[in-house]
Amino acid sequence: MPENDAGGQDIVTAALIVIGDEILSGRTRDRNIGYIAEYMTRIGIRLREVRVVGDVEDEIVDALNALRAAYDYVFTTGGIGPTHDDITAESVAKAFGVPIEIDERAVALMRERYEAKDLTETRLRMARIPQGAELIENSVSRAPGFMIGNVIVMAGVPKIMQVMLDDVAPRLRTGRKLLTRSVRVDRPEGEMAPGLAKLQEEFSDVPMGSYPFFENGRLGTNLVLRSSDEGRLEQALKALWEMLEAQGVADVARAAD
Amino acid sequence: MPENDAGGQDIVTAALIVIGDEILSGRTRDRNIGYIAEYMTRIGIRLREVRVVGDVEDEIVDALNALRAAYDYVFTTGGIGPTHDDITAESVAKAFGVPIEIDERAVALMRERYEAKDLTETRLRMARIPQGAELIENSVSRAPGFMIGNVIVMAGVPKIMQVMLDDVAPRLRTGRKLLTRSVRVDRPEGEMAPGLAKLQEEFSDVPMGSYPFFENGRLGTNLVLRSSDEGRLEQALKALWEMLEAQGVADVARAAD
């Protein structure tokens, strides 16, 4: 599946690190992974890996260093608030080996929300930015995120993460978009598997996925074709429908999102 | 935060690998991470890390080998169906360096659902189990998961993963449960941060988390105390309420789940 291979011209890759004990304990359900995955696909960046780690500096630093060497971009969510368990900015500074101090640009942004007397030492923790970073604006609550090297540091609160992503996205290099065509079949995937495997051999440049689901007590399957070449994708889709006809399941199949 | 340190008597740890291109592309929203995280906390296993990787053998094998050496258990979800893109069982066999063949115990389980003539070569792919593995029952659609060494391999379809988790859980070693007490405060976390940091110093054995949320256009905070010692937890909770009184926010605070 060449589209999935690392490298390749025009392919821009990314990883995501979700930071927070509360996700690992199950207390908070993550709502950022799916949002960021979909966003990346839409703008032409391939999300290749996600890691969820706790509020532990060594683990954050290790994940940052492993992933920023392996992918074009690394996004993080969580751990940039004012409390003692917010250690993402410090961890990023440590990973890059740069100092971290209160950043006057960040303080200026926060003044739009807070009066000088309310900019307490605690709140100013949110203005601590690793040296050399560019800020990412937060139109919801002002305390900014930042981008340093290929690492993009965002808040964990979904609404705030989302406005930060909108602010930083235009600065990112994007590549060829991965287009998809999906067909939903109300049959277990086993019924289509041999035909699909043969089709995959024939269209080795169009990765084909088969995703089972369970609905109203029955198994069904979403078949998904992926390519950045629209013409090739339509050829493969036509061949897929012929295969579904041949296997006698076209009557329980329909185009899906 | 000693509770978060690796090792320690009675602490049983785990990691989770979510396998599937469809999660990374954003096509499918993961619904297993939160469920497994909560389940682990309930039975006394500490989930320490999650990785989401694509349907790429090398990446699955690398994640398996890194995590099974670092944690007591490694769970996987996804990639054990009958289609060409289901490569989890093969990847696990490769990581352990054992052969993988059609397992007669798995075939026997599948016979409960399929007549002999319907047990096609394709469906029998789901009976391929690495040598030395114990099976995990699947009361929904029969094709089993398995456990080999400290690695537990489950389906990606949430309903099927959940029955597999119920089947395998009684076989797992569990440790001290992490108990929590939570207080919701309808104020931004910055207002409590100094008091909370001081409290955390005083109760260094009771990790305290501060989790902001955004609701109806306003920021609020969930404060969470964690310990496996119930008495100590109640002491810390009492001190937390005294701190909230002192900071003048007790009237907008309430016990939470």
Q: Do A33 and B53 touch (CB under 8 A)?
A: no
Listed in sequence order, the DSSP H helices in B32-118 are: 33-43, 57-70, 88-96, 104-111
Angle between helices A158-168 and A33-43 (to 10 degrees): 20
In chain B, residues 170-189 whose CB comes closer than 8 Å to chain A: 178, 180, 182, 188-189
pLDDT per residue as tens digits for the range A34-45: 999 999 999 999
User: Going along chain A, which residue ranges are E strands?
Assistant: 13-19, 46-53, 73-77, 100-102, 128-130, 134-136, 145-148, 151-154, 179-185, 208-215, 218-227, 253-256
CA distance B181 to chain A (A): 11
Q: Which of A46, A50, A126 to mutate to test the interface with B (most CBs of B within 10 A)?
A: A50
Query: Is residue B211 within 8 angstroms of chain A, CB to CB?
Result: yes
Identify whether the C-beta of residue B123 lies closer than 8 Å to the C-beta of residue B82. yes
pLDDT per residue as tens digits for the range A96-141: 999 999 999 999 999 988 888 888 888 999 999 999 999 999 999 8
Q: Which CATH architecture has domain B2-171?
A: 3-Layer(aba) Sandwich (3.40)
**Residue ranges of chain A that CATH labels 3.40.980.10:** 2-171
- β-strand B100-102 against B46-53: which pairing, if any? unpaired
**Residue ranges of chain A that CATH labels 3.30.70.600:** 179-256
> What 8-state DSSP symbol labels residue B19?
E
Query: Is residue B193 within 8 angstroms of chain A, CB to CB?
Result: yes
Other Cβ atoms within 10 Å of A158 Cβ, number: 14
CATH 1.10.287.70 corresponds to the domain A179-256: no
Query: Is residue A41 within 8 angstroms of chain B, CB to CB?
Result: yes
pLDDT per residue as tens digits for the range A41-83: 999 999 999 999 999 999 999 999 999 999 999 999 999 999 9
pLDDT per residue as tens digits for the range A175-234: 999 999 999 999 999 889 999 999 999 999 999 999 999 988 899 999 999 999 999 999
- β-strand A128-130 against B73-77: which pairing, if any? unpaired
What whole-number distance in Å separates Cα of residue A24 and Cα of residue A71? 24
Query: Is residue A160 within 8 angstroms of chain B, CB to CB?
Result: yes
Q: Which of A114, A122, A191 to mutate to test the interface with B (most CBs of B within 10 A)?
A: A122
Query: Is residue B214 within 8 angstroms of chain A, CB to CB?
Result: yes
CA distance A176 to chain B (A): 14
Residues 6+ apart with CB under 8 A from A142: A109, A110, A112, A113, A114
Which stretches of chain B drop beneath a pLDDT of 50? 1-7
pLDDT value of residue B114: 87
pLDDT band at A1 (very low <50, low <70, confident <90, very high): very low
Query: Is residue A204 within 8 angstroms of chain B, CB to CB?
Result: no
- Between these two residues, B235 and A7, which has the higher pLDDT value? B235
For B211, the closest of A4, A22, A207 (CB atoms) is A22
- Chain A residues whose CB is inside 8 A of the B50 CB are 18, 23-24, 50-52
> What 8-state DSSP symbol labels residue B189?
G
Query: For residue B208, what is the nearest residue in chain A, using CA coordinates?
Result: A85
What whole-number distance in Å separates Cα of residue A31 and Cα of residue A54? 16
Q: Which of A124, A201, A211, A216 to mutate to test the interface with B (most CBs of B within 10 A)?
A: A211
Q: Provide the number of CB pairs (under 8 Å) joining chain A to chain B.
A: 216
What whole-number distance in Å separates Cα of residue A112 and Cα of residue A142? 7
pLDDT per residue as tens digits for the range B216-228: 889 999 999 999 9
pLDDT value of residue A2: 41
Query: Is residue B234 within 8 angstroms of chain A, CB to CB?
Result: no
Residues 6+ apart with CB under 8 A from B74: B14, B15, B16, B17, B64, B67, B68, B150, B151, B152
- ipTM for the predicted complex comes to 0.91
pLDDT value of residue A122: 87
Query: Is residue A47 within 8 angstroms of chain B, CB to CB?
Result: yes
What whole-number distance in Å separates Cα of residue A136 and Cα of residue A142? 10
Query: Is residue B23 within 8 angstroms of chain A, CB to CB?
Result: yes
pLDDT value of residue B1: 39
Query: Is residue B62 within 8 angstroms of chain A, CB to CB?
Result: no
